[in-house]
């Protein structure tokens, strides 16, 4: 959590979930963040702070234009506004600047909603997929290097011969689907049988439409393992046609995105922990201005969020707390971030 976030680490606060919120967001294997309706960072995890090369308290309270070139920052903020307007969740791939180099990331964003369903901001996470993009686009890589890259990135390749009906899967797809190559029927029908029953019609329709309309095939769906576990995969592909316009083969990739989906659920849970925490919580920016309060704060103090946002927490001072207590608190924050 940020050094200037107003956080109570008493046993009661820990039990109520306030400390667990920070622990959960820092435990995510992806870069995670929460923004308000103006795209101002309200929270982020340690991995994102490491990527930005800044302590978390220097990120919270600022916007993307403090960290990225103007055009890239505008694109991120436009994505935020679009999702808040339509209330949807989106996963997309986009450029990203790190160490002065352009890389590619896969980002998932969704609206942050209050208890009454109103949209309060954006929650999201992303991972670096530069290597995966390179895999998908490079056809010159040797077979042995390709297999190793696929294994490391959990992304496999496939090819469907539309004339013979024969389906080829790389080794990594068999590992993702947890299917013995010797027992796989190597056909499109066998593939559909491996898809979660509730997703089969959607997958089949999406692929068929892409072949008919000559568009790129892209869909995420579930797999149900033999022991009942659920996995999530992202599939992409395109179809090649002969001179007469007849489709002859489709090629593409499959990537295991189960960790992303689980992280998305964790991030949504963390947002709820903050909003519904029974302890009053204040988040301030680097200039000690209040940028976010939760519902418990409003109930406890009587201040509505719009009445305190942008103000110094000193507005709550009662003049009954000894100065030594405040000095000890700020000394602890400066030394340990808590």
Cβ–Cβ under 8 Å, residues 111 and 124: no
Please check whether residues 20 and 114 belong to one and the same domain.
yes
Token output for 258: 């189960």
Concatenate the DSSP letters of all residues of 251-263 into one string: EEEEEE-HHHHHH
Q: Output the pLDDT for position 140.
A: 42
Distances (CA, A) of 260 to 41, 106, 124, 263, 266: 21, 10, 11, 5, 10
Q: Output the pLDDT for position 153.
A: 61
Q: Quick check: is 263 in a domain?
A: no
Distances (CA, A) of 73 to 25, 68, 123, 216, 330: 23, 6, 16, 28, 33
Please check whether residues 293 and 235 belong to one and the same domain.
no
Mean pLDDT of 204-225: 93
Q: Output the pLDDT for position 206.
A: 94
Mean pLDDT of 223-240: 92
Mean pLDDT of 157-175: 90
Residue with tokens 């029927």: 185
Q: Quick check: is 159 in a domain?
A: yes
Q: Output the pLDDT for position 238.
A: 93
Q: Quick check: is 1 in a domain?
A: no
Mean pLDDT of 95-107: 76
Average pLDDT, the chain: 82
Mean pLDDT of 272-278: 76
Count of domains for the chain? 2
**26-40, 54-68, 280-294, 313-327 — which is least confidently predicted?**
313-327
Whole-model pTM: value is 0.49
DSSP 7: -
**Structural domain boundaries, residue 321:** 11-128+277-336
Percent of the chain surpassing pLDDT 70: 85
CATH number for position 62: 3.30.450.20
Q: Output the pLDDT for position 145.
A: 56
Mean pLDDT of 200-213: 95
Please check whether residues 138 and 252 belong to one and the same domain.
yes
Please check whether residues 101 and 145 belong to one and the same domain.
no
Q: Quick check: is 292 in a domain?
A: yes
Q: Output the pLDDT for position 5.
A: 45
Please check whether residues 163 and 228 belong to one and the same domain.
yes
Contacts of 148 (CB under 8 A, 6+ apart): none
Q: Output the pLDDT for position 143.
A: 54
Please check whether residues 115 and 138 belong to one and the same domain.
no
Closest CA to 238 of 202, 206, 264, 192: 206
Mean pLDDT of 222-244: 92
Q: Output the pLDDT for position 3.
A: 42
Q: Output the pLDDT for position 130.
A: 76
Given 227, 256, 285, the domain boundary residue is: 256
Concatenate the DSSP letters of all residues of 267-292 into one string: HHHHHHHHHH-SS--EEE-TTS-EEE
Please check whether residues 251 and 150 belong to one and the same domain.
yes
**131-140, 301-310, 327-336 — which is least confidently predicted?**
131-140
Please check whether residues 299 and 244 belong to one and the same domain.
no
**51-55, 96-100, 208-212, 216-220 — which is least confidently predicted?**
96-100
Please check whether residues 77 and 180 belong to one and the same domain.
no
């Amino acid at each position: 959590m940020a050094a200037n976030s107003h956080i109570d680490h008493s046993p009661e606060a820990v039990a109520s979930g306030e400390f667990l919120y920070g622990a959960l967001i820092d435990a995510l294997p992806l870069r995670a963040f929460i923004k308000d309706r103006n795209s101002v960072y309200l929270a982020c995890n340690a991995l994102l702070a490491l990527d930005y090369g800044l302590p978390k308290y220097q990120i919270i309270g600022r916007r993307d234009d403090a960290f990225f070139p103007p055009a890239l920052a505008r694109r991120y903020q436009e994505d935020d506004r679009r999702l808040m307007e339509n209330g949807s969740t989106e996963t997309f791939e986009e450029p990203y600047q790190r160490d002065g180099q352009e890389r590619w990331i896969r980002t998932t964003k969704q609206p942050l909603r209050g208890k009454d369903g109103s949209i309060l901001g954006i929650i999201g996470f992303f991972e670096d997929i530069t290597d995966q993009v390179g895999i998908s686009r490079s056809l010159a890589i040797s077979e042995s290097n390709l297999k190793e890259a696929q294994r490391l990135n959990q992304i496999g390749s496939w090819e469907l011969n539309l004339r013979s009906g024969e389906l080829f899967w790389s080794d990594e797809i068999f590992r993702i689907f947890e299917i013995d190559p010797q027992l796989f029927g190597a056909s499109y029908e066998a593939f559909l049988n491996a898809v979660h029953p509730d997703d089969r019609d959607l997958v089949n329709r999406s692929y068929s439409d892409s072949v008919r309309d000559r568009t790129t095939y892209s869909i995420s769906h579930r797999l149900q393992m033999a022991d009942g576990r659920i996995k999530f995969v992202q599939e992409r592909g395109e179809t090649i046609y002969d001179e007469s316009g007849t489709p002859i083969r489709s090629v593409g990739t499959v990537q295991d995105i189960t960790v992303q989906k689980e992280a998305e659920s964790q991030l949504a849970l963390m947002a709820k922990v903050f909003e519904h925490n029974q302890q009053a919580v204040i988040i301030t920016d680097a200039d000690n201005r209040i940028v976010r309060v939760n519902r418990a704060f409003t109930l406890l103090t009587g201040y509505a969020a719009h009445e305190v946002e942008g103000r110094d927490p000193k507005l709550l001072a009662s003049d009954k707390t000894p100065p030594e207590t405040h000095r000890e608190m700020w000394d602890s924050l400066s030394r340990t971030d808590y």
